[in-house]
């Protein structure tokens, strides 16, 4: 799966997971919306959840920017807009916070749901806390990956939000 990032550069470059993915040649950064190719756009504000039914697309696109500008920026990206279901962050900055994933966590969660757990593990292996993300989300990721469509993913998500 190709990984593309619309990169705004407003994070600390030493902590930026997008920059690290680029350094390891695991993702391609784009500095404008126009230069960013279409694909499945991981948009936390999208109405439809990502599901295994989306596995027909071979390109994931993430937005690496401040959470303050994410909503307006994400809608400018071309492609199939999908939100990730309930997952918790495993990185030291947002540890344990639901829905506040950084770029590599969003990619890893999406890859796992789309059936590419090996690529998810590969990109997370570049981060000391990468396995923590998988450990924290092992059960929901497995359940989401077994769903047929977005509606089923949302039903599984409801199990976690009701608790």
- pLDDT at position 163, please? 60
- pLDDT at position 75, please? 61
- Exposure pattern of 79-107 as b/e (b: 16+ CB <10 Å)? bbbbbbbbbbbbbeebeeeeebbbbbbbb
Report the predicted TM-score, pTM, of the whole model to 2 decimal places: 0.94
pLDDT along the chain (163 residues), means of 10: 89 83 96 94 93 97 72 73 97 94 96 98 98 98 98 97 79
The token duo for 13 is 């470059």
Report pLDDT digits (tens) over 121-133. Answer: 999 999 999 999 9
Look-up of token digits 């770029």 = 103
């Amino acid at each position: 799966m190709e990984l593309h990032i619309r990169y705004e550069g407003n994070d600390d470059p030493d902590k930026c997971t997008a920059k690290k993915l680029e350094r390891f040649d695991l993702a391609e950064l784009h500095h404008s919306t126009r230069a960013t190719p279409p694909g499945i756009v991981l948009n936390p504000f999208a109405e439809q959840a990502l599901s295994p039914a989306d596995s027909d697309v071979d390109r994931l696109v993430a937005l690496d920017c401040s959470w303050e500008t994410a909503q307006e920026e994400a809608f400018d990206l071309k492609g199939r807009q999908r939100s990730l279901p309930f997952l918790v962050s495993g990185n030291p900055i947002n540890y344990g916070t639901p829905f506040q994933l950084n770029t590599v966590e969003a990619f890893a969660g999406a890859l796992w749901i789309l059936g590419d757990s090996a690529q998810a593990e590969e990109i997370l292996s570049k981060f000391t806390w990468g396995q923590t993300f998988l450990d924290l989300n092992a059960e929901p990721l497995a359940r989401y990956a077994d769903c047929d469509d977005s509606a089923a993913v949302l039903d599984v998500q409801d199990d976690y939000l009701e608790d």
